[in-house]
């Protein structure tokens, strides 16, 4: 279910009739047809902890527990284990990039939110590379990250983009925080929050401020043949690509352009552009490192225990506003930025916005 490349984009590629893209079209059709069984992962703690009253206290800074496996171009998981925490680099670029990306995401979650791994308890981070033949996607299956190598004509391998790795692991954080139903607006919020984790991890790795960041999800996974820079732009939804074969990025940035559809679980990848833009507006209005205030508000809203799995955009807007009020005060700069952002994308203020 939780794949980085939306089905509507793969469908466009699958229908391509250009001779030079015959291989990519075949790969897209195979990717769409391939099963992606979903499994609810089980937590395995990897922390030294103590209990103080009702609180679970981490002793010192936790270290990641990473395992990377190689599917050897089969569609069977987990594949052959090739690297763990005590092992040297494999020399396989995809395996080592995945391993490093898991570590960078772990470091971000701990540095930004004091969260030990995606489950908050130091659980193992697992990844499988070289999934399938020319598989045009990367996905989270409830237990691990899974990466295809791409078709080489439109998509390159997916392990070279930290925003892809952190996005998919972000779905794991959403699940372990109570979950958001993967359909309609709650599904678009699920996708958007995963994009937030992807973008913030990328910025954390590069030490970028909100103003300096590109706010792109999936930058680098297109080959030079594609007219586009990434799968999605949080800064300017609808502008990430405009290609003769793939078409134009269909994401809206405002509720007036909300896409009503039964495809893609009710448009979860398309309509995530609206809350993505709202987050970008909050982050850039507040400035500095986006994870410090904007990210904290989104994270506390997600993990606070009061967000319903069926939450729509309006409920999430109200919840983030309430979090900003509680953390910073109703008259604070932070609360004003959150209110202004949701107004600007038309979720509040009667859908008028700017």
Contact between 254 and 345 under an 8 Å Cβ cutoff? The reply is yes
Q: Assess whether pLDDT exceeds 60 at residue 50.
A: no
Q: Assess whether pLDDT exceeds 80 at residue 245.
A: yes
Q: Assess whether pLDDT exceeds 70 at residue 189.
A: yes
Distance of alpha carbon 27 from alpha carbon 14, whole angstroms: 8
Who's near 152: CB < 8 A, 6+ residues apart?
23, 24, 134, 223
Rg (CA), the chain: 20
Q: Assess whether pLDDT exceeds 50 at residue 46.
A: no
Mean pLDDT of 289-295: 98
**172: domain CATH number?**
1.10.390.10
Categorize the per-residue pLDDT at 40 as very low, low, confident or very high, splitting at 50, 70 and 90: low
What's the count of helices (H) and strands (E) in the chain, helices before strands?
Answer: 10, 12
Categorize the per-residue pLDDT at 19 as very low, low, confident or very high, splitting at 50, 70 and 90: confident
Who's near 190: CB < 8 A, 6+ residues apart?
2, 171, 174, 179, 180, 181, 182, 268
Mean pLDDT of 202-227: 97
24: number of Cβ within 10 Å:
24
Mean pLDDT of 210-223: 97
Categorize the per-residue pLDDT at 337 as very low, low, confident or very high, splitting at 50, 70 and 90: very high
Residue tagged 């998509």 (tokens): 155
Calculate the average pLDDT of the chain: 92
> Does this model's pTM top 0.75?
yes
Q: Assess whether pLDDT exceeds 70 at residue 150.
A: yes
Give the count of domains, the chain. 1
Tokens of 279: 């987050």
Q: Please give the residue that has the higher pLDDT: either 130 or 2.
A: 130
Q: What is the pLDDT at residue 177? A: 94
Mean pLDDT of 208-229: 97
Q: Longest Cα pair distance anywhere in the chain, in angstroms? A: 67
Active-site residue set: 168, 269
Mean pLDDT of 298-310: 96
Q: In which domain, by residue range, is 135 found?
A: 2-351
Tokens of 189: 């919020």
Distance of alpha carbon 235 from alpha carbon 273, whole angstroms: 9
DSSP state of 269: T
Tens-digit pLDDT profile for residues 57-95: 555 679 999 999 999 999 999 999 999 999 999 999 999
Tokens of 13: 């590629």
Residue tagged 């995530």 (tokens): 272
Contact between 151 and 28 under an 8 Å Cβ cutoff? The reply is yes
Tens-digit pLDDT profile for residues 163-187: 999 999 999 999 999 999 999 999 9
Q: Assess whether pLDDT exceeds 70 at residue 158.
A: yes
Q: What is the pLDDT at residue 84? A: 97
Q: Please give the residue that has the higher pLDDT: either 54 or 192.
A: 192
Distance of alpha carbon 99 from alpha carbon 250, whole angstroms: 32
């Amino acid at each position: 279910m939780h794949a980085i490349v939306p089905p509507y984009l793969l469908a466009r590629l699958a229908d391509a009739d250009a001779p030079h893209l015959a291989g990519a079209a075949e790969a897209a059709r195979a990717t769409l047809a391939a099963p992606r069984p979903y499994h609810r992962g089980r937590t395995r703690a990897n922390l030294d902890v103590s209990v103080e009253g009702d609180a679970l206290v981490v002793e010192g800074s936790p270290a990641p527990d990473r395992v990377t496996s190689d599917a050897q171009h089969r569609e069977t998981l987990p594949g052959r284990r090739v690297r763990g925490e005590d092992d040297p680099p494999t020399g396989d670029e995809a395996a080592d990039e995945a391993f490093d990306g898991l570590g960078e995401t772990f470091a971000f979650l701990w540095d930004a939110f004091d969260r030990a791994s995606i489950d908050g308890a130091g659980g193992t981070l697992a990844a499988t590379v070289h999934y399938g033949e020319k598989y045009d996607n990367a996905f989270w299956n409830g237990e691990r990250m899974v990466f295809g190598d791409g078709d080489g004509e439109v998509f390159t391998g997916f392990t070279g983009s930290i925003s892809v790795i952190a996005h998919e692991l972000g779905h794991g954080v959403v699940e372990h925080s109570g979950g958001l139903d993967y359909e309609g607006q709650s599904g678009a919020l699920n996708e958007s929050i995963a994009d937030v984790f992807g973008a913030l991890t990328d910025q954390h790795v590069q030490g970028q401020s909100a103003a300096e960041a590109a706010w792109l999800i999936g930058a680098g996974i297109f080959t030079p043949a594609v007219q586009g820079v990434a799968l999605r732009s949080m800064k300017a939804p609808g502008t990430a690509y405009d290609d003769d074969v793939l078409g134009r990025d269909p994401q809206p940035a405002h509720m007036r352009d909300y896409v009503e559809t039964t495809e893609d679980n009710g448009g979860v990848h398309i309509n995530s552009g609206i809350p993505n833009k709202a987050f970008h507006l909050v982050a850039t209005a507040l400035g500095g490192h986006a994870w410090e205030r904007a990210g904290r508000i989104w994270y506390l809203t997600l993990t606070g225990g009061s967000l319903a799995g069926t939450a729509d955009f309006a409920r999430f807007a109200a919840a983030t506003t309430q979090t900003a009020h509680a953390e910073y005060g109703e008259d604070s700069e932070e609360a004003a930025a959150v209110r202004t952002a949701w107004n600007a994308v038309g979720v509040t203020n009667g859908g008028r916005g700017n």
